[in-house]
Amino acid sequence: MSTPLYEQQSLKIYNSISSEKETFTSITPGRIGLYVCGPTVYSDVHLGNCRTFISFDLIFRYLKHLGYKVRYVRNITDAGHLENDADAGEDKISKKARLEQLEPMEIVQKYTVGFHTILKQFNNLPPSIEPTATGHILEQIETIKTIIENGFAYVVNGSVYFDVVKFNKSNDYGKLSGRNLEDMINNSRTLAGQDEKRNPQDFALWKKAEPVHIMRWPSPWGDGFPGWHLECTVMSRKYLGDTFDIHGGGMDLKFPHHECEIAQGEAACGCSPVNYWMHANMLTLNGKKMSKSTGNTLLPQEIFSGKNDILTKSFKPTVVRFFILQAHYRSIMDFSNDALEASEKGFNKLMEAIKSIETITPSKSTSEEFIIEAWKQRCYEAMNDDFNSPILISHLFEAVKFINNLKENKAKITSTDLEVLKTTLDAFVFDVLGLQANEEAGSDLSEKLDGAIELLIEMRKEARANKNFALSDQIRDTLFEQGIQLKDGREGTTYSY
Ligand code: AMP
Ligand code: ZN
């Protein structure tokens, strides 16, 4: 048997808890447990959310490429996440259910399906397990009991709170986010509605449900619901063990969410839950974090359809993915029309070069300026250096330049080297970066569909001009049955899916 790739390559991961790049070793040789915090399914995911999930898809893909068997767990938060990420206020899902006059689980279903559809369009691989908070209420109750038994939580009036001050006596609360509990206490003022806590830094493990609260479960402390941070501790532990390899999420989850996960894990099992903490940086729009709460968002569908106020044209999902991967996952990335247009040009150049490899005739020798094996190793080194996709992409463009020289007979290559060039490009471009060639991404088809709809809109306009309303209505209604809605406006007719 040949040596697996992960034994030939030395992977370094920037560990947020040590703030250093560390050589990666998995707990079990050849296997990796990876947990990533998933979405709270109460609204459409915006491109910022997608950036984080694409970043971890790149990581998942590269670990698999190295030959690891990866168990990738990414949860769906469908209960317990309150407004403002706080311990008081309305549940985000219940609130949306109230506003839309739907059952909370209808909200959950609607936005979970939407989330999956978008990630599939971006060619993200599905996780190995996608557990939900509501599917693990019993396990969460058991963990709370253990934390109480271990002396790190207290019950007040039907709610259970984690005792941060007590925990900090034997452990270090704040080690991930670099915060100091004393400073936090000195800088905080008690917030209204939080007075049943011994200390404002304490956080809810279980919240008593007020009579109006619809998402509720029975527990030893009365009817209630679990605190937001608990589900990730419980589900990662259930599927990956007390201590597992990698935990990821967006940078904004470092505190309090991940800090609280560490505290809960340590309080429940007496061991550190995670070996490597990874945090993906934010996508910004007009220099500000893309965020649902401020309304500074762009939805993937608005980019794919071109129906938005920011872009001059539509862009395919795979081009947007390429754009995202052109920044390192730990760098802040700003979204703009110009950047996306530049990415599209680069993407097309890359795809054309890969396509044209087939037309190259091998020679008896390879030009000295391009040493295939050294180039291949540089590609690995880029990814081994904390998944540095922009550096990898710059190496891929060295190959593009070489391929273009080959096409113009300014360079030559042996058949063996040509094969290595082709398989290495395929591996990095399609398997690791997860990009899709134009045909595969279905762009031709969607362009043809756009053309066909435009034609029908034109025919409908003519029918109306001729007062043939039966035909114009038939066109509108038949398109609607197919999920295409026409909208008549002052500037003509537009459509949406
Ligand atoms: P949420 O559903 O709000 O919990 O967010 C889901 C994921 O998206 C989390 O990992 C967040 O950290 C991440 N996220 C939210 N906003 C952004 C952004 N502007 N850029 C990148 N990731 C984000
Ligand atoms: Zn989480």
Does the domain at 5-280 match CATH 3.40.50.620? Answer given as yes
Q: Ligand 1 center to residue 348 CA distance, Å?
A: 29
Q: How far is CA 326 from CA 24, 206, 331, 343, in A?
A: 24, 42, 10, 8
- The total number of residues written for the chain in this structure: 497
Does the domain at 325-435 match CATH 1.20.120.640? Answer given as yes
Q: How far is it, in rounded angstroms, from Cα 445 to Cα 415?
A: 35
The pLDDT, as a whole number, for residue 85 is 81
297 lines ligand 1 (CB under 6 A): no
Q: How far is it, in rounded angstroms, from Cα 4 to Cα 484?
A: 49
Name, in order, each residue with C-beta under 8 angstroms of 481's C-beta and a sequence gap of 6 or more.
none
- The β-bridge relationship of strands 283-285 and 69-74 is unpaired
For tokens 């471009």, name the residue: 429
Domains of the chain, residue spans: 5-280, 325-435, 440-496
- 3-class secondary structure, 254: helix
249 lines ligand 1 (CB under 6 A): yes
Ligand 2 ion: Cβ-proximal residues, 5 Å cutoff: 37, 232
Q: Give the closest residue to 72 by CA, choosing from 24, 31, 25.
A: 31
Give the orientation angle of helix 317-325 with respect to helix 389-407, to 10 degrees. 110
The residue whose C-alpha atom lies closest to atom 14 belonging to ligand 1 is 49
The pLDDT, as a whole number, for residue 162 is 98
For tokens 């920037």, name the residue: 14
For tokens 């909208």, name the residue: 487
The residue whose C-alpha atom lies closest to atom 15 belonging to ligand 1 is 49
Going through 111-210 in order, the beta strands assigned E by DSSP cover: 153-156, 159-162, 203-208
Q: Give the closest residue to 200 by CA, choosing from 87, 119, 288.
A: 87
Ligand number, closest to the Cα atom of 253: 1
* Half-sphere exposure at residue 103, Cβ-oriented, CA atoms within 13 angstroms: 3
Q: Give the closest residue to 48 by CA, choosing from 347, 191, 273, 249.
A: 249
39 lines ligand 1 (CB under 6 A): yes
pLDDT in tens, the chain (497 residues): 689 999 999 999 999 999 999 999 999 999 999 999 999 999 999 999 999 999 999 999 999 999 999 999 999 999 888 887 888 888 999 999 999 999 999 999 999 999 999 999 999 999 999 999 999 999 999 999 999 999 999 999 999 999 999 999 999 999 999 999 988 888 776 554 557 999 999 999 999 998 888 899 999 999 999 999 999 999 999 999 999 999 999 999 999 999 999 999 999 999 999 999 999 999 999 899 999 889 999 999 999 999 998 999 999 999 999 999 999 999 999 999 999 999 999 999 999 999 999 999 999 999 999 999 999 999 999 999 999 999 999 999 999 999 999 999 999 999 999 999 999 999 999 999 999 997 665 555 666 677 788 889 999 999 999 999 999 999 999 998 887 888 888 778 877 76
> Within a 10 A sphere around the Cβ of 452, how many other Cβ atoms?
11
